[in-house]
Amino acid sequence: MSWGAAPGGIKVEGEIDWVRKSTPPGKRLKDQYAIVTGSSRGFGRTIALALAEEGANVAIHYAKSAQSADKVADEVRKFGVDSFSLKADLRDFDQVKSLADKVWAKWGRCDILVNNAGETAATMMSWRELSTEVVEETLGLDVKGTLYSNHEFGRRMLDQQRSGAIVNIASNVIVTGSPRSPIYAAAKYGVIGITKSYALALAPFVRVNAVAPGYMDTDSLRARKDWTDRRRKWIVDHTPARSIGKPDNISHIVVFLSSQDSFHMSGNTVICDGGFSMPAA
């Protein structure tokens, strides 16, 4: 990320004048280096491709399928940028440190971190079905994984580069709550706390923001037992945009928060649910 000092004006001690340096249209992330966690499939893959389309080199993180991750890396390289895949269990701080080591060893820097990996507690159909296993899985990846990644990548961005952008993936359950899975809502509230805390801790050189999608038309949503035609119709009818979100729509918000187009935003949460939750200002 490149910044410059703005000329003129009255400044107070410690104030920094940032100036956005433009990049060509369609190349907002040219010569940037990014990693997207959980990007071997689904929404993470869509984000990785959207970053690559804007000129970023993108590392593909995976937890289970090396074959899927390598396939996404091949797709990314078709945009004329660099890509490689890396495996790590984000719930293990030592593995997150190793993940960062590999990125810096390969590229010497990391400009963008997108924390997409997370558990939705998809097997849980009601709050009455609470299990310690689901609690551990969901909090482990959504909270611990996001915290460790923000900490390790953010620390290096701040100390070694004095620049960077982090985007954490939350959910509109931070507004609506979730009677299906309170643990999922609690985990995403944790993501917001991490976002705000590291936006302060890494300031002023590293920006940290969050994206909070609503329902997204993905294979995982369509596979859920509780996702019936009737429920889909109810959601669409109660969404001002009259549609279920598509990953392609929301990935471009991630690109915006990764780029200098959002250079004066930090600690923000952008809700992308077609107006379904309509949070108060």
Catalytic residues: 184
Token look-up 């074959």 returns 67
**Cβ–Cβ < 8 Å for 243, 183:** no
Q: Which amino acid is at 16?
A: I
CB 55 within 8 A of CB 81: yes
The count of other CB atoms within 10 Å of the CB of residue 165 is 25
Task: Establish whether the linkage from the previous residue to 204 is cis, with ω within 30° of 0.
Answer: yes
- Buried b / exposed e along 216-255 (16+ C-beta atoms within 10 A): bebeebeeeeeeeeeeeeebeeebeeeebbebebbbebbb
Residue 207's DSSP bridge partners are 165
The neighbouring-strand residues paired with 216 are 245
Farthest CA pair distance, the chain: 61
**Cβ atoms of 93 and 87 closer than 8 Å:** no
